[in-house]
Amino acid sequence: MKFFIDTADVDAIRELHDLGMVDGVTTNPSLILKSGRDILEVTKEICSFVSGPVSAEVVATKAEEMIAEGRKLAAIAPNIAVKVPLTWDGLKTCKVLSGEGFMVNVTLCFSANQALLAAKAGATFISPFIGRLDDINLDGLDLIGDIRTIYDNYDFQTQILAASIRSANHVKDCAMIGADVVTAPPAVIKALASHVLTDKGLDQFLKDWAKTGQKIL
Ligand code: G3P
């Protein structure tokens, strides 16, 4: 499973990139706001060291303008995936831009039928938001499973990019159910390394080591 990092925080991306944990990056208007940076400038900087897909989202709502914005974002670097919302105009934009050879990430997906439409419109990635479904007492993971079944039934090549990931368990559940990619905030990726028994075991080893009076270096 691929890890995309869901942030526009360049330092945080770099840290994980140096560990080989970054297969791509996703941003959205809220993450650009959080970064305090200009979208074109920060996206270009991310693409300067991340070779996998870097999603940059359009903000227009009518297809014609979305297409123009998408072309401008795609011109930043060859690994840009233009992110469009799952609206009818977003699907039109997806069809045009994917036809021009650009990667397209269709975002704000909350149903299997939406994911079916995105695949038919040529999406490279579909982004179901599992945390936001959980927030309203629906099961985000069920949606990932449904999309997996549908895409496999018909051999759609669109990759399932599980988004709105809030916890380490979300990552494991998405891996178990067959999401192609998870995009997660840096803190969630780091949380994957944590286990209380690891901490407890290390503590005991270090106490016992101190009693030996030995040194390795
Ligand atoms: O990738 C989409 C993600 O940024 C949304 O996450 O936690 O705001 O629902 P969240």
CATH code (residue 188): 3.20.20.70
Other Cβ atoms closer than 10 A to 201: 11
Cα–ligand 1 centroid distance for 102 (angstroms) = 23
Confidence of residue 32 (pLDDT cuts 50, 70, 90): very high
Q: Is residue 178 part of a domain?
A: yes
Supply the pLDDT for residue 217: 97
196: Cβ contacts below 8 Å, ≥ 6 apart: none
Which pTM was predicted? 0.96
Which one from 2, 72, 83, 172 is the annotated catalytic residue?
A: 83
Average pLDDT, the chain: 98
Chain-centre distance of CA 205, in angstroms? 37
For residue 26 and ligand 1, the question of a CB distance below 6 A is answered with yes
Q: Is residue 21 part of a domain?
A: yes
- Could you give the number of structural domains in the chain? 1
| Amino acid 166: pLDDT | 97
Q: pLDDT confidence of 201, banded at 50, 70, 90?
A: very high
83 labelled catalytic: yes
* Span from the CA of 126 to the centroid of ligand 1 (angstroms): 14
Hey, which of 164, 165, 170 would you mutate to test ligand 1's pocket, going by the most ligand atoms within 8 Å of its Cβ?
164
pLDDT one-digit tens code per residue, 141-165: 999 999 999 999 999 999 999 999 9
Q: What is the pLDDT of residue 135?
A: 97
Q: b or e along 1-32 (b: 16 or more beta carbons within 10 Å of the residue's beta carbon)?
A: eebbbbbbbbebbebbbeeeebbbbbbbeebb
76, 91 contact by CB (below 8 A) = no
Residue from 28, 35, 167 whose mutation best tests the ligand 1 pocket (most atoms within 8 A of CB): 28
In a domain, 136, yes or no: yes
Extract the tokens encoding 120. 């038919």
pLDDT of residue 136: 98
Is there a contact between 194 and 168 (Cβ–Cβ < 8 Å)? Answer: yes
- What is the percent of the chain where pLDDT is above 70? 100
**What pLDDT is recorded for position 177?**
98
203 assigned to some structural domain? yes
* 111 is a domain residue: yes
Res. 55 pLDDT band, cuts 50 70 90: very high
Confidence of residue 195 (pLDDT cuts 50, 70, 90): very high
Q: What are the residues whose beta carbons fall under 8 Å from the beta carbon of 183, sequence distance 6 or more?
A: 3, 4, 5, 6, 24, 26, 127, 161, 162, 163, 165
Q: For residue 80, give its domain range.
A: 2-212
The pLDDT of residue 5 = 98
Report the pLDDT value the prediction gives residue 117, as an integer from 0 to 100. 98
Tell me whether residue 19 is in a domain: yes
Whether 113 is in a domain gets the answer yes
Which pLDDT value is given to residue 190?
97
Residue nearest to atom 9 of ligand 1 (CA): 164
- Mutational pocket test of ligand 1: of 4, 6, 34, 110, the residue with most ligand atoms within 8 Å of the beta carbon: 6
* pLDDT tens digits along 64-111: 999 999 999 999 999 999 999 999 999 999 999 999 999 999 999 999
Asked if the structure places residue 217 within a domain, the reply is: no
User: Cβ(89) to ligand 1 under 6 A?
Assistant: no
